[in-house]
Chains A and B, each alone.
Chain A
């Protein structure tokens, strides 16, 4: 075939191949090599009032957690409630095994009854002794008169007086005995009451209207004094305990509005409010702790301990030049942005102020607004970089 192509045609074909190659080489050298201009995107600096916000994570907690357990070691006899049960104030939640306590109470009851009986007996004795004493008094009075009338002997009268004295002493003794029996009765009754109260203490009673959040032990388990068997919280008292990075917590204060996103309900924004900033910060994790309360308690109570993301809106700043944080770079130890002037680059050192969560940074110094600055670049820039302004860098070239 090639023999029939004229010399002229062949020259053209070869030349076109060579021109194509030369063109490609030129393209490669200028567009893909180090001489290629750096693709950048630019933005005009304008003034905006940014609304900084803080972002922190925390967990759902209850303000008051009632950990209900026995006051002394023992075995659990029964637990009446399950986690998630609603309980009323005063409701019986469970009971400890009383072991021999009931027997002890029975014994005390018997003792009490015996004391009561003893009391009755002593009272009867007092009456009997009283009666004897009254009879002795009468006899004594009569013998005194008879003595005056000398109808009885002196010895007879003396004997009657002695009988009266004995009766008087017996009465005093019987009365003392009665007093002791009464005291004994009080003691025995108090003993019994104490045991009954101890018995009542083995019953685990809810102190509030609330929800059982934990049931840590089951019947038969031996627990020590102070160990929680059941945990009850008041639904109305849940809040989020949030941790904010100290470095960025400037402006955080109570009463600021907050948005809460529960981890299990991503996308659902719950409103809340900063209730207080804890006076103690976490020194190890360098975080500030705060409590954020729900404006309205969610219908379905979030599980205690669930992770929550909290965004606290800070007060809006006054309008000043802002730039995207992607444009801020450090060159030779100075923070600044690349300003595009007549197609060439100049590094403008800046001082930055507040930032918001969308990555906008206030410029306190260095830019006055209206400048064209580089936001994204395909490569690191320097003052001699040739640039080509494009709309997007990703997707244009790789």
Chain B
């Protein structure tokens, strides 16, 4: 027996392949949307992975540092370091802001999450795990390690608030939960950047202070200077990241900090739930909802295409029935074509999604699991759609073939 489906495909292969590619692009869009959703969740997860922390110590009763603002004195870490089970701690600041590149013809703004870390602590919490170019921070000031998603290159000069920084290293996949690239700068600079906004603001602040009679008292030389100096320093950080000794229960280390230091402490799992269930929940649900609708629409279109393809051959099917072709053969022909179309569509979609995913401004994570699920769904939809088409085909009166 020859393959009727194969012969039909071969006969109109151009149309068939084009239909498959069109279908594939639609499937590609659906896969990409799934990737956008996965990418969003992954952004939240890499934020936690990249911080390298087992515990996050933040201001009491806040859900910082990512979901809420949190402020701690920068000497808090000393008392945490003394708690048993704590291996390493690091102060860290997070500040999402515009970072501008400076230089001739390169001036542009990038929205970034500026992370203040103590320099040169490879393997310390808060440090980027791996680099793709350059080196880690070694100087205590005016150096930056940027994520390549920011578009910065080694040697670029960038401005963060009042200071200029030289990009000395590049990372990859170091992003905030919102997908903004991270820019790591030395902690002291970051503390200053968080507080000292710009020169105009500083001048205005000084003027305000000078106008206050309580702070600018005649007869007390030096008071105003002291007040201004104390206003211009910032000894706060947003969180203390803690790495614990291997084999220690994070909760056992967290409890004494909560109890005696009057701080909030989150373990990795708690932080994950804050990020994914609270911070990105609505946005992720939005995407997920869209994904569901897109999947339904895609399924409907796949079904229509297969149905239409079959209906276009209704006369041939009538002739086949007239000359005695069994229902099974006809159904097989339609089913095989539908599945072949689905296969081509899936392959085109997967390839297309993979090639265009990196172009997206935010991370698109194409999970193999999603691809497999997508494949199964595509094939199931094709089979279901062909069932519709087969039902229609089997109802065809062979008399139609000879035109009554």
Contacts and interface: CB of A to CB of B under 8 A. Distances in A.
Given A2-B12, A25-B351, A394-B133, A361 B243 contact: no
A349 to B, nearest CB: 11
B139 A357 contact: yes
B10 A358 contact: no
Interface of B: 9-14, 17, 49, 52, 75, 87, 118-120, 122-124, 129-136, 138-142, 148, 153, 168-170, 172-173, 188, 218-219, 221, 235, 243, 245-246, 344, 347-348, 350-351, 354-355, 358, 366, 368
A326 B136 contact: yes
B17 A14 contact: yes
B131 A376 contact: yes
Given A352-B122, A376-B132, 13 more contacts: A2-B13, A21-B347, A21-B348, A24-B347, A34-B368, A248-B140, A325-B122, A326-B136, A333-B87, A359-B169, A361-B122, A393-B172, A394-B133
27 contacts: A10-B10, A13-B13, A14-B10, A28-B350, A55-B139, A57-B140, A224-B221, A227-B221, A244-B140, A248-B120, A284-B75, A325-B135, A328-B122, A333-B245, A333-B246, A355-B138, A357-B138, A359-B135, A359-B136, A359-B138, A375-B131, A378-B172, A379-B130, A379-B172, A380-B49, A393-B133, A398-B148
B132 A324 contact: no
Contacts of B130: 326, 329, 376-377, 379-381
Given A248-B140, A359-B138, A25 B10 contact: no
A89 to B, nearest CB: 25
A332 interface: yes
Nearest to A247: B118
A376 B128 CA distance: 12
A329 B130 CA distance: 7
Interface size classification for chain A? 35 or more
A309 B141 contact: yes
Contacts of B140: 55-57, 244-245, 248
A174 B52 CA distance: 103
A25 B27 CA distance: 14
Contacts of A34: 368
Most chain B CB inside 10 Å of its own CB: which residue of A7, A286, A326, A361:
A326
A25 B368 CA distance: 12
A299 B243 CA distance: 51
Contacts of B173: 379
A285 interface: yes
Nearest to B118: A247
B9 A14 contact: yes
A380 B173 CA distance: 10
Contacts of A57: 140-142
Interface string A376-398: 11111100000000001110001
